[in-house]
Structure 1
Amino acid sequence: MNNATEEEKWLDKDKINDRHFYLGTKRVVDFVASLIGLIVLSPIFLIIVICIKIEDRKGPVFYSQIRLGVNGQPFRMYKFRSMVVYADKKIQKLLDKNEVDGAMFKIKNDPRVTKVGKIIRKYSLDELPQLFNVLIGDMSLVGPRPPLPREVAEYTEYDKQRLLVQPGCTGLWQVSGRNSIGFSEMVDLDLYYIKRSGIWVDIIILFKTVKIMIVPNDAY
């Protein structure tokens, strides 16, 4: 991927949007799979809700945040709350501890993460409410990680190419090392996926995601 020529680094937007069969099939699969997932996983949702409430009765169970989707369109993304209340307001004091290069913030031992949060983040269970985002069409099951507006503000034109497709609950970055991979490598993986995405590629990534949820990688 890093050996690509300058011309190969840039995506053809028209070619991406012209894949009508793939995009149509992907949307149908996303809708059906997310609906089934929300129903089948409802007992796990209930258990997580109870655990979060036991640890913090006054705090909300769900956490929502504005992210940018396809073509930079903002949408509200949902997750189970894995951090203390008002965690976003405390991030300024932690920016100098960022362990990821580029337009992304991650620290391994984030003091804002709750006890329950550490567990559900390790197994990526905090991401399950994003199935609702998939159901209503804000996200896809597979695609690039949806970025924050403040992250995109730091993007180069090359980086912004990852916004040409719908963001996903999981993707090539998540199954390739996740937090052990830097920002520039994440962008390269996303663009590599966009160029080669297809039904079978998505299925392979989904199977790898299930494996990671059972045998976690370095998610935090």
Structure 2
Amino acid sequence: MECVGEATIKDAIHKDTNEEGTNNTYRNELINRRSEQFSYRFLKRFTDICISIVFLLLQAPIIALLAIVIKLDSPGPVLIRQQRIGKNRRRKYKKIEFYDRRASNLHGQPFVMYKFRSMHTTSNLYDVKPASDSDARITRFGRFLRRSCLDEIPQLINVLKGEMSLVGPRPELEFIVRQYNDYQFQRLQVKPGITGLWQLKGSRKKHIHEEVHLDLEYIRKQSLRTDFYILLRTLKFALFLRNF
């Protein structure tokens, strides 16, 4: 009986030791993974701020010129403010008067996104987006803004405020997010971006929520290298006025 007891105790100790070793290994891997994620988020945020500030300072004369042309081209404000849904929030929703109270029930954090106005003021900001540049709602100068992606420049303000990133899934409209399924909600895991894989690899004729697999591909592969690759590709398209 004593021999059996000793063997049982030894086996139990050996088992506990193995389990402890496995747990320690898993714990170390988890710590390393979290450390890598924290480092990436920190560097990504640092990069977002630096690039946004430098771009706004260098392009200030062009931004001023764009604002003047927009005012001369058609009556209305230079900028439009549109409510979009951002990253899945972790803290309690704070009421902001501009936001629709119903947005507090969403999985993502609502925020106000800025863009240069490219459509006539008679157009509904929350209507279905134009299918092409020939849409009557788009102003003459607005066609150029949309083709060159210059209408997105004011979103650098959102980046500086921490509501968006330079690279990430595009922020979606509230009424569309309300129709998301569990698969589509996964795209809200990260901050929305000014550009991303959807703009480079997706079809411009499709809606954002129809290309969720591209957003999830970015989330799985996100790294500074991937971000810079997307930024450089976006810059190339914008400079040559080519459609994504």
Query: TM-score by structure 2 length?
Result: 0.73
Q: What is residue 43 of structure 1 aligned with on the other side?
A: 61
Kindly provide the amino acid, as one letter, of the partner of residue 85 in structure 2: L
Q: Name which structure has the greater RCO, CA cutoff 8 Å, separation 6+.
A: 1
Identity among equivalent positions (%) equals 42
1:107 and 2:143 are equivalent in the alignment: no
Superposition TM-score, scaled by structure 1 size:
0.81
Q: Which ranges in structure 2 are unaligned for 5 or more consecutive residues?
A: 1-32, 89-107
Contact 2:84 2:113 survives alignment (8 Å): yes
Distance change >3 Å, CA 211–CA 113, structure 1 → 2: same
Partner of 2:144: 119
Greater share of helix: 2
Q: Does 1:198 align with 2:234?
A: no
CA contact (8 A) 2:237 2:243 kept: no
Give the greater-gyration-radius structure (CA): 2
TM-align CA RMSD: 2.1
1:170 to 173, 179, 195: 195
Secondary structure of 1:22 counterpart: helix
> Are the aligned partners of 2:198 and 2:208 in contact in 1 as well (CA < 8 Å)?
no
Q: 1:106 to 1:159 in 2, by over 3 A?
A: farther
Asked whether the 8 Å contact 2:155–2:194 carries over to 1, the reply is yes
Q: 2:118: which partner in 1?
A: 82
What secondary structure does 2:113 align onto?
Answer: strand
SS of the residue 2:216 aligns to:
helix
Q: Structure 1: where are the runs of 5+ without partners? A: 1-14, 96-104
CA deviation after TM superposition for structure 1 residue 181, in Å: 4.6
Q: Distance in 1 between matches of 2:242 and 2:34?
A: 31
Residue in 2 that maps onto 1:210: 235
SS in 1 for 2:137: coil
Distance in 1 (alpha carbons) for counterparts of 2:34 and 2:217: 13
Between the aligned partners of 2:125 and 2:54, the Cα distance in structure 1 is: 35
Distance 1:28 1:86 in 2: 39
Other structure's SS at 1:69 match: strand
List per-residue Cα deviations over 1:79-99 (Å, max 9, x = no partner).
Answer: 0000011411683xxx6xxxx
Please, which of 66, 71, 74 is the counterpart of residue 83 of structure 2?
A: 66
Q: Cα deviations across residues 92-127 of structure 1 (Å, max 9, x unaligned)?
A: xxx6xxxxxxxxx44113221100100110000000
Partner SS, residue 151 of structure 2: helix
C-alpha distance in 2 between matches for 1:112 and 1:60: 15
How far apart in 2 are the matches of 1:69 and 1:28?
A: 19
TM-aligned CA distance change 1:88 to 1:79, over 3 Å: same
Q: Tell me if structure 2 keeps the 8 A contact 1:38–1:132.
A: no
Helix, strand or coil at the partner of 2:237:
helix
Aligned to 2:12: none
